[in-house]
Amino acid sequence: MNISYDWLKEYIDLNVPPEELAKYFDQIGLMVESTREVNGQTVYEIETYANRPDTLGHLGIARELATLFGLPLKMPGWQLSELEQSTFDLIDIQVLDSQLCPRYCGLVVRGVTVGPSPEWLKKRIEAIGLRPINNIVDIGNYVCFSLGQPLHTFDLNRLKEARIIVRRARKGEFIRTLEGQLVELTPDMLVIADDSKPVALAGIIGGEESGITEKTTDVFIESANFDPVSIRLTAKKLGLSTDASYRFERGVDINAAPLGARMAASLLGQFGGKVSRGLLDVYPNQRKPRSVPLRLKRISELLGIEIPEEFVTRTLTSLGLKLNEQKPGVWVAEIPSFRVDLEREADLIEEIARFFGYDRIPSEVTPTRSFELPGNQEQDCLWLLKETLLHYGFDEVINFSLADPEKEKIWQTGYQPIELRNPISSRTSILRTSLLPGLVENAVWNYNREANGVHIFETGKVYFWEADGQQGEELHLGLLTSGLKEQKSWAQPARETDYFSLKG
């Protein structure tokens, strides 16, 4: 995300020189990857995070800096030169899928002259790495990179029946994008359509047939909110990635939609446009703010340091949270819609720590005390046995406790095996009564792979029916040694395994 120093000053009275601001970004977790000069403006390339879509606009970054420096956040007023005609008389809006499009806002601006953008706007657009197109397109980009709210502008006179329908695509429909690419649509994709055809891929890119041209005089401004999952799947399926889809995939603030429409309409008014009366706002299922409890005591418990109450309230309020005090040191925080990452008390405490400064929080090693577990004679003996066998050149194996009844019969262990009620296979239908079948299978497996000698052991339980009908189990030790005991070398001849290898 490219951030312009001069652009930030539209929202905050910065008194920090541009060359020093980078270190403050890093201090609050907004990592600066590079700094450069573009047309005399200092531009920072900042790493953004998937759970912080609020930082995808200059306003969101300015809010972070205002909190750090204790400065007020400035919100420009947008003056609208309104027509007598109502927006509802100029265009008809239908949202047929409110799940994929929870909010849709729009305004009509008439009498616009399409032409080059003024120098100040060109510089803003070029600073963030975009190429100026014309005043209409550039205003849309300016709003997007200011508020983090993507917009789309339609030529009102190219919309059939002056109608916008937000719906899923129909099988067999196509759209030619603004880039000239013909795209086949599927019913799982959300489109913006007029009375006869799709005119835009919702939240991704507009269509060529409804785009702005040099002859455009009447503009419909779309400022909407779309489902992140739907946008991500459609963009990936079609191989399309735009500044709009990048933001919608991460979750755009649902309350930024009306602000984006008003801001764009106000700027278009500077080019002779008159704005329709009344914002069109389709928002059927209004979302209530999330509430998260916060305790002053819990802050000190998690951070290991006392944070002044005044700092806590000032920081969270500056970040846009509303604190409702329940009793001294206990609040219920109302989370603003643009902070999708704040879900629990620990998240709020993390914000406090971030602005307090991690370097001011002492780093201490948690004290520990040593203790001894009570002894277990059987376990100690087992470990000693294993260590001894390993010392004599044996390798430990661990086999499954489930066994093949046909193979168990060969060994005639004298135990009555326990059968499983619902075995996965007839070859694993009983619990083993001996360790020997497993050890022999291990040896065969190794000899089939040209092993010269196999020296293995296993400790484990065997299972059987007792004479009184109870289930019994015993801990057994099984050993198998075969083949070469010692390899031939210059110091000694090869030696085969024999009785004395086990006798010792």
In tens, the pLDDT along 7-27 reads 999 999 999 999 999 999 988
In 53-112 the beta strands, taken as DSSP E runs, fall at 82-86, 92-95, 103-110
**What percent of the residues of the chain are helix, what percent strand, and what percent coil, each to the nearest 5?**
35, 25, 40
Low-confidence winner among 52-56, 283-287, 316-320, 374-378 (lowest mean pLDDT): 374-378
* Predicted pLDDT of residue 496: 87
pLDDT tens digits, one per residue of 43-86:
999 998 889 999 999 999 999 999 999 999 998 777 777 777 89
* Predicted pLDDT of residue 185: 96
3-state secondary structure of 109: strand
Residue 306 burial by CB count (10 A; 0-12/13-18/19+): exposed, middle or buried? exposed
pLDDT tens digits, one per residue of 105-159:
999 999 999 999 999 999 999 999 999 999 999 999 999 999 999 999 999 999 9
Query: What band does 371 get if pLDDT is binned at 50, 70 and 90?
Result: low
Taking the CA atoms of residue 269, residue 270, residue 273 and residue 277 in that order, the dihedral angle to the nearest 10 degrees is: 10
Query: What band does 366 get if pLDDT is binned at 50, 70 and 90?
Result: low
Fold match flag (2-69 vs 290-360): yes
Tokens representing residue 97 in the block: 């899928």
Q: Return phi, psi of residue 252, to 5°.
A: -85, 145
* Predicted pLDDT of residue 338: 96
* Predicted pLDDT of residue 392: 87
The owner of tokens 């993507």 is 150
The owner of tokens 């990452």 is 341
Element (H, E) at 23: helix 18-27
Mean local confidence (pLDDT), 253-269: 94
Query: What band does 497 get if pLDDT is binned at 50, 70 and 90?
Result: confident
Mean local confidence (pLDDT), 217-235: 96
- Strand ordering across the sheet containing 198-201: 92-95, 163-168, 190-193, 198-201, 205-206
Q: What percent of the chain has pLDDT over 90?
A: 79
User: What does the H/E/C string look like for 135-191?
Assistant: HHHHHHHHHHHHHCCCCEEEEHHHCHHHEEEEEECCCCCEEEECCCCEEECCCCCEE
Tokens representing residue 139 in the block: 């205003």
Domain boundaries defined on the chain: 2-69, 82-282, 290-360, 377-503
Architecture, CATH, for domain 2-69? 2-Layer Sandwich (3.30)
Q: Is the pLDDT of residue 293 over 70?
A: yes
Distance separating alpha carbons of residues 101 and 190, to the nearest angstrom:
8
| List of residues 6+ apart from 487 with CB closer than 8 A | 452, 494
Query: What band does 389 get if pLDDT is binned at 50, 70 and 90?
Result: very high
The CATH classification of domain 377-503, taken from the options 3.40.50.2300, 3.30.930.10, 3.40.190.10, 3.40.50.620: 3.30.930.10
Per-residue burial over 379-403, b if 16 or more Cβ lie within 10 Å, else e, is eeeeeeeeeebeeeebeebebeeeb
* Predicted pLDDT of residue 39: 86
Distance separating alpha carbons of residues 345 and 130, to the nearest angstrom:
40
Q: Where are the alpha helices (DSSP H) in 269-374?
A: 296-303, 309-318, 345-356
Q: Is the pLDDT of residue 491 over 90?
A: no
Q: Is the pLDDT of residue 270 over 80?
A: yes
* Predicted pLDDT of residue 290: 94
Distance separating alpha carbons of residues 293 and 295, to the nearest angstrom:
7
Residue type, 338: F
Q: Between helices 135-147 and 58-69, what is the axis angle to 10°?
A: 40
* Predicted pLDDT of residue 500: 80
Sign of torsion over alpha carbons 459, 465, 468, 469:
positive
Q: Is the pLDDT of residue 504 over 70?
A: no
pLDDT tens digits, one per residue of 154-196:
999 999 999 999 999 999 999 999 999 999 999 999 999 999 9
Among 72, 29, 48, 1, smallest CA distance to 350 is for: 29
Q: Return phi, psi of residue 336, to 5°.
A: -70, 150
The pTM score is 0.72
The CATH classification of domain 82-282, taken from the options 3.50.40.10, 3.40.350.10, 3.90.1640.10, 3.30.390.50: 3.50.40.10
Beta strands 274-277 and 32-38 are unpaired
Q: Is the pLDDT of residue 37 over 80?
A: yes
Class of domain 290-360: alpha beta
Low-confidence winner among 37-46, 370-379, 382-391 (lowest mean pLDDT): 370-379
Q: Is the pLDDT of residue 370 over 70?
A: no
Q: Is the pLDDT of residue 271 over 90?
A: no
* Predicted pLDDT of residue 148: 95
Distance separating alpha carbons of residues 390 and 126, to the nearest angstrom:
71
Distance separating alpha carbons of residues 298 and 129, to the nearest angstrom:
44
Q: Is the pLDDT of residue 477 over 90?
A: yes
Query: What band does 266 get if pLDDT is binned at 50, 70 and 90?
Result: very high
Low-confidence winner among 39-53, 370-384, 472-486 (lowest mean pLDDT): 370-384
Residue 34 burial by CB count (10 A; 0-12/13-18/19+): exposed, middle or buried? exposed
Mean local confidence (pLDDT), 347-368: 86
Mean local confidence (pLDDT), 323-341: 95
The owner of tokens 């489902």 is 227
* Predicted pLDDT of residue 372: 63
CA of 285: how far to CAs of 162, 223, 238, in Å?
Answer: 25, 17, 30
Residue type, 171: K
* Predicted pLDDT of residue 82: 75
Distance separating alpha carbons of residues 402 and 487, to the nearest angstrom:
35
* Predicted pLDDT of residue 487: 78
pLDDT, mean over the chain: 92
Query: What band does 422 get if pLDDT is binned at 50, 70 and 90?
Result: confident
